[in-house]
Amino acid sequence: MPVEWAGSGPELLVTIDRASGAGLRAQLEEQLRTAIRAGRLAGGEPLPSSRVLARTLGLSRGLVQDCYAQLQAEGYLTSRAGSATRVAATASRGPGTPPPKPGRTTGHAIADFAHGVPDLGLVPRDDWAWAVREACRSAPDSAFGYGEPAGARPLREVLAAYLGRVRAAAVTPDDLIVCSGMQQSLNLVLATVDASPVAFENPGPGLPARRGIPVPVDEEGLDVEALRRTGARAVLVTPAHQWPTGVVLSGPRRRQLIAWARECDGIIIEDDYDAEFRYDRDPVGSLQGLAPDHVVSLGTVSKSLAPALRLGWIVVPPRLFEPLARAKWLADRGSPGIDQLALATLIESGRYDRHLRRVRSEYAARRETLVGALTRHAPHLAVTGLAAGFHAVLHLPPGTTEDQVVSSAVARGVGLYGMAGLCARPAPPRLILGFGNTPRGRIEPGIAAIADLLGALGKT
């Protein structure tokens, strides 16, 4: 016989039918998901505790907890320590309202595989609030004034220890300048380094045409011999996880690149992109640790915590420290001081490392979901770039027009993004499939919705 429950919080009927043959967890998940989609459970409404619901329905508490965790991963529920599990504010649509938009979207109803954005729902809000309170409580009065041009000393000390431990960087607090995110760091370095034009990876984010020279990237990373031929004396690279191809700069190429810098007294600008998120490969240390006199290393918490914090750093050779610190001071009189102290507190407490372990596990699960979906629905298309980060590269057959695939997918409610806009020269057609801010429960439906579209590629 079906078991019914009318919750003591929101009025909702849940029916568990043990004779139906359907899994008990699947029944519970689908009924809660449907109630949220239909608006019968409104955003912000609490659900019963896993213990209460399990006892009422005659289920195991672990089953209910797994159900809640899955719906939270899909963006339907939110949960905070010491508080009830609630319906996510943006999850409940109600009748007649548009479907929810997953993260950074342009209205894609099924899934949006936008790249470059972490899961904003995984931001450790409670830990950050705790760190800010601790910083405000313990900071001296002087911390509320204009700080040092290079940034708060406590943060630079903590960052130096952290980067040495985690990234094998050769750094002291006096080598660090705190900035407002990656873009400011790069702008300050480009304005200070006396080397124009600057070479950059192709494909890659690029630089202004008057200053940039594209250098090809292959399966080992930047082509150093091609770099030598440009005559450039500075180069911007993403060696830990090349953006956007996802390749790692190989050991031989690292040695060649450092040799190039020493030969021409050049500068390597290292964007330590996606270094925190690796899955099935060994850790790769920072280039800066191999040649601290020739590498300017840029880092940020935009991907590991949240872009809204606008906190990053530059590890600089001694000869560039004073001009870069002066440029930072003239730009904005320093990044927010209390936020710097909060970040130092977060790292020192171990909560930052704990957060990274948690989100790395979630991104790894999304990666496996994406790989499984592509294996089922588009096994003839190669997928690369998955050793780290939270995007994959899907290789399309020669002659495919990226824009046509993207447009066809959009018509089906799926957001796809081509790589052509990141290439300085014509290149093979590829798609960048981001899964950082794509809920796990939307990945499979998104790929399934374009299965025949992908299946037809290369078969005409």
Alpha helices (H) in 351-450, listed in sequence order: 351-377, 402-411, 440-449
Same domain, 155 and 253: yes
Alpha helices (H) in 39-177, listed in sequence order: 50-57, 61-73, 125-138, 153-167
What is the span of the domain harbouring residue 375?
Answer: 355-456
Residue 393 placed within a domain? yes
- The radius of gyration of the chain from alpha carbons, rounded to an integer in Å, stands at 25
Residue 397 placed within a domain? yes
Judge whether 180 and 365 are in contact, CB under 8 Å.
no
More confident residue, 417 or 460: 417
Same domain, 204 and 296: yes
Same domain, 368 and 335: no
Query: Which tens digit of pLDDT belongs to each residue from 48-76?
Result: 888 888 888 888 988 888 888 888 877 88
Binning pLDDT at 50, 70 and 90, where does residue 90 land? Answer: low
Binning pLDDT at 50, 70 and 90, where does residue 210 land? Answer: low
Residue 15 placed within a domain? yes
Q: Domain end: 79, 97, 115, which one?
A: 97
Same domain, 203 and 153: yes
Residue 291 placed within a domain? yes
Q: How many structural domains is the chain composed of?
A: 3
- What residues have CB less than 8 Å from 279, skipping those under 6 apart? 360, 363, 364, 367, 386, 387, 388
* pLDDT at 11 (0 to 100): 46
Query: Which tens digit of pLDDT belongs to each residue from 150-207?
Result: 999 999 999 999 999 999 999 999 999 999 999 999 999 999 987 778 999 999 987 7
User: Mean pLDDT score of the chain, rounded to an integer?
Assistant: 87
Same domain, 197 and 236: yes
How distant is the alpha carbon of residue 282 from its chain centre?
19
Burial class of 25 by CB neighbour count within 10 A (0 to 12, 13 to 18, 19+): middle
Residue 102 placed within a domain? no
| Lowest-confidence region among 29-38, 84-93, 132-141, 268-277 | 84-93
Same domain, 148 and 195: yes
Distance, in Å, from the CA atom of 326 to the CA atom of 95, rounded to the nearest integer, reads: 57
Same domain, 341 and 360: no
Same domain, 359 and 387: yes
CATH of the domain at 69: 1.10.10.10
CATH of the domain at 401: 3.90.1150.10
How distant is the alpha carbon of residue 182 from its chain centre?
14
Q: Domain end: 349, 377, 400, which one?
A: 349
* pLDDT at 77 (0 to 100): 87
Residue 386 placed within a domain? yes
Whether 320 has a pLDDT exceeding 90, the answer reads: yes
Judge whether 64 and 53 are in contact, CB under 8 Å.
yes
CATH of the domain at 212: 3.40.640.10
Mean pLDDT along residues 268-280: 81
Same domain, 420 and 445: yes
Residue 142 placed within a domain? yes
Q: What DSSP string describes 14-25? A: EEE-TTSSS-HH
Distance, in Å, from the CA atom of 217 to the CA atom of 385, rounded to the nearest integer, reads: 13
Q: What percent of the chain has pLDDT over 90?
A: 63
Same domain, 202 and 301: yes
Same domain, 332 and 382: no
Distance, in Å, from the CA atom of 49 to the CA atom of 53, rounded to the nearest integer, reads: 6
Mean pLDDT along residues 306-327: 95
- β-pairing, 221-222 vs 212-218, is antiparallel
Residue 149 placed within a domain? yes
Same domain, 378 and 342: no
Binning pLDDT at 50, 70 and 90, where does residue 445 land? Answer: very high
C-beta atoms surrounding 346 within 10 Å: 25
